[in-house]
Amino acid sequence: MTTIQNPILPGFNPDPSIVRVGEDYYIATSTFEWYPGVQIHHSRDLANWRLVTRPLARAAQLDMRGNPDSGGIWAPCLTHADGLFWLIYTDVKRRDGAWKDSHNYLVTAPSIDGPWSDPVYLNSSGFDPSLFHDVDGRKWLLNMIWDHNQTGGDRFGGIVMQEYSVEDRKLTGPVRNIYRGTDLKLTEGPHLYRRDGFYYLLTAEGGTGYDHAVTMARSKDLFGPYETDPAKHVLTARGTDGLLQRCGHADIVETQDGQFYMVHLCSRPLDETRALPVGDGGIHADDVRRSPLGRETAIQKLVWEAGEFPRLAHGGNAPADTAPCDLPAHPFPEDAPRTTFAPGALPPAFQWLRTPDVDRLFSLTERPGALRIHGRESPGSAFEHALLARRQTALTFRAETTLEMEPGDYQHFAGLIAWYGRFKFHYLAVTANEDGQRVLTVYSCAADWPDARVTYPITPIPLPDGPVQLGCDVEGAILRFRYKTNGDWTDLGITLDQSAISDEAGNGPGNNFTGAFIGICAHDTSGRGRHADFLDFTYQPLNGSPQVSHV
């Protein structure tokens, strides 16, 4: 028997949707404003996972320029039927205020590796869409419906369902509201299953914070009425102080030998903030738990007796740190910590922000052996931002890069960045001062809103000619930058708040949904597109967290 250690997908990997095809398991997770869209991981034992594809990889499928922080791709649903993979996803263009502009699409592929089709537009009535394939061959789209007329924060109008016509490639027939949820409210994330003469409807409730929960209801009729599970929530971490918090937004898979597992999102608050109160419905920078790794994916074993609602195999409804599994172990090779850059595709661990026009930002051919990044708009841009980054997957890690650039002036800068969003980052940058001398500086934006103030924690340091190595060391809530030009590393002698690079920190837009990244970037706010060359990148977890390999 294998013991699965949670989380199975460490770092920013929320809203998991799982499907089994033969002996292969696939999980699709949200990517929000990061491009390409949707991460799909593969496993054969539910414990070891590798990233195999991000299917929304061209402009015809996805263009998120102008999307807000934590907009973009929400809650994909991955299923398999009729010899095809079916991927449903939302592209959120607006997420603040009374209205949501959330457009839902479908793409298909004969293989998990593609080719993935151009999208079929479905609707824009809400988010968290999923596709249910009934035994009679008919297909039904479910999503939560957004009610902008409601006040008081709960504009979640219930779970609606409409038939999808494969022949006509569109939704058809009446829209039915089949479930309005429980008193926990904020009902979303629907998945539908048919078992033992019942339709079982799995939903997420309570918001994506510390009240999050998984709720199940069932009906003998597809259209309801749906009876809520007497236990109400099959999974929640509300009121607990365990490792896994904010548990919700789940999906269920049956193994080839008839066992059941539930994958769900979760987070792991920093130990130094774990005991702090959550607040009173707002986000308070000084009195809230913080989870830099964002919302991750965990797994729980279920017991699902015939005619009954499913239950956690270990009892109760609180998440467990581990899960047992009888599947034969199938590990994948771990990634090497150091990445070098050769002509071809960008390294698969990395993503960029919003734009499909990647060739305007990055080149692996202009200077062989280096990644050339063409500086574009500022770190606050929601349109063209030349930043290439990978997820932070461990609470303790080190990262390093080697940079060659000759900044033309202070509007041209590049370097190593710890990133959450446009108002949360720490940036060790090479630039020029007003006299044109090359210098090293730190830009830090620790979740201030609406001012989004950028502070400069150090006096710019003059740099000699030649390559510069930039590094950072993160231990929980602390980040330290260092650099090297010749000889030994030099610590900058400052500590920055890495807990600010988290879901919960700050008081403005863009909170709650993604997670910390570490990467490299170049900016040229003059509009001239001047470049910087990066020769390598190293990311080394230091606390033994489970790692996910990449293709």
**Long-range residue pairs from 136-140, CB within 8 A, at least 24 positions apart, any chain:** 138/163, 139/81, 139/163, 139/164, 139/166, 140/164, 140/192, 140/222
Q: What is the dihedral of CA 379, 385, 386, 387, to 10 degrees?
A: 60
Rounded Cα distance between 444 and 434, Å, is 20
Rounded Cα distance between 496 and 442, Å, is 10
Three-state DSSP state, 273: helix
Q: Which residues, at least 6 apart from 294, have a Cβ–Cβ distance to it below 8 Å?
A: 11, 12, 13, 14, 267, 502, 503, 513, 514, 515, 516
Q: Structure tokens of 107? A: 């793409």
Q: Which residues, at least 6 apart from 137, have a Cβ–Cβ distance to it below 8 Å?
A: none
Instruction: Provide DSSP, 379-439.
Output: TT-SS---EEEEE--SSEEEEEEEEE---SSTTEEEEEEEEEETTEEEEEEEEE-TTS-EE
The reply to whether omega before 225 is within 30° of 0 (cis) is yes
Residues annotated as part of the active site: 384
> What's phi and psi for 110, nearest 5 deg?
-75, -20
Rounded Cα distance between 413 and 433, Å, is 10
As a 3-state breakdown, the chain gives helix, strand, coil percent values, each rounded to 5, of 0, 45, 50
